[in-house]
Amino acid sequence: MITYLSANSLEPGFPELDAPGDQIFPVAIGGDLSVERLLMAYKQGIFPWFNHDEMICWWSPDPRTVLFPDRFKVRRSLRKSIRNRGYSVTIDKDFEAVIRNCATKLRPGESSIDTWITKGMLNAYCELYRLGFAHSVETWYGGQLVGGLYGVSLGKVFYGESMFFNCTDASKVALFHLVQRLLEWNYVIIDCQISTPLLHSLGAEEIPRIEFLRIVKQAIQQKSSDDDWRCALS
């Protein structure tokens, strides 16, 4: 049964996800993209996508695709790109440019009007970034932004949202550097949301949603990582 959320109140909240689910139907519909609702969602392992009618749909797929940082696979071709392509990588240098580039990246079958990163979604995540909850990793070549990723960080969980690349392996290089940082900071898990061949080639795996929620519940209670991200800027 799908929960319908009010745009004017945080009640009713998101449903309890204590039983197996699926990847076909959202767990809730409606509401808004306020900081309070977004943080409430992520803490419960739920994330927003828009559907084609501009309705906010809230998802928590079962199984869940995740990447444990210590299981990240660095293929030979990626190692060559890291060493030889002349890329430089930054953290939180241009969050808005990253999300705008992700918004123009089309999935198979999509048109430019289908992107789930609407203006409202972009503004909401830029506000999360301003408040220190969202972060970006940027890949540069010759002074130009050529790849990157962004997501939300709570406790020791990084919720990956989207990646883009304009040059070979540029998004993978950003992910490699993110993983190295998260290993340093003792992050427990990276949420990848939905399975893709690319993610699986990099070590992502599917776990039951109930297991994902158990990990998240413990990991978000660990010490805030705000200081780690700020130090990464220096």
- Residue of higher predicted confidence among 193 and 230: 193
Lowest-confidence region among 23-27, 59-63, 206-210: 23-27
Report the C-alpha gap between 113 and 86 in whole angstroms. 34
Q: 135: domain CATH number? A: 3.40.630.70
* Domain end position, chosen among 62, 84, 104: 62
* Domain end position, chosen among 16, 44, 62: 62
For residues 20 and 96, state if they share a domain.
Answer: no
For residues 52 and 136, state if they share a domain.
Answer: no
pLDDT at position 45: 97
Q: 41: domain CATH number? A: 3.30.70.3550
HSE (side-chain half, CA atoms, 13 Å) at 115: 17
The arithmetic mean of pLDDT across residues 68-94, rounded, is 97
pLDDT at position 113: 46
CB of 208 closer than 8 Å to CB of 19: no
For residues 100 and 204, state if they share a domain.
Answer: yes
For residues 199 and 139, state if they share a domain.
Answer: yes
pLDDT at 209 over 50: yes
As a whole number, the mean pLDDT across the chain is 91
The arithmetic mean of pLDDT across residues 24-37, rounded, is 94
For residues 209 and 162, state if they share a domain.
Answer: yes
pLDDT at position 108: 46
- Residue of higher predicted confidence among 230 and 55: 55
For residues 90 and 11, state if they share a domain.
Answer: no
Report the C-alpha gap between 187 and 87 in whole angstroms. 25
* Domain end position, chosen among 35, 62, 89: 62
pLDDT at position 224: 66
Q: pLDDT for 94-148, tens place per residue? A: 999 999 999 987 554 444 445 679 999 999 999 999 999 999 999 999 999 999 9
HSE (side-chain half, CA atoms, 13 Å) at 148: 29
For residues 57 and 74, state if they share a domain.
Answer: no
Q: pTM above 0.75?
A: yes
For residues 226 and 145, state if they share a domain.
Answer: yes
Q: How confident is the model at residue 167 (pLDDT cuts 50, 70, 90)?
A: very high
For residues 117 and 223, state if they share a domain.
Answer: yes
Q: Which residue has the tokens 């003792």?
A: 186
Domain ranges, residue 127? 65-233
Give the CA angle between residues 202, 207, 210 to the nearest 5°: 145
Q: How confident is the model at residue 192 (pLDDT cuts 50, 70, 90)?
A: very high
Q: Counting beta carbons within 10 angstroms of the beta carbon of residue 82, is it exposed (0 to 12), middle (13 to 18) or buried (19 or more)?
A: middle
The arithmetic mean of pLDDT across residues 8-14, rounded, is 93
- Residue of higher predicted confidence among 22 and 210: 210
Q: Is the dihedral of CA 47, 65, 154, 161 positive or negative?
A: negative
For residues 18 and 71, state if they share a domain.
Answer: no
For residues 27 and 99, state if they share a domain.
Answer: no
For residues 70 and 140, state if they share a domain.
Answer: yes
**Overall number of domains in the chain:** 2
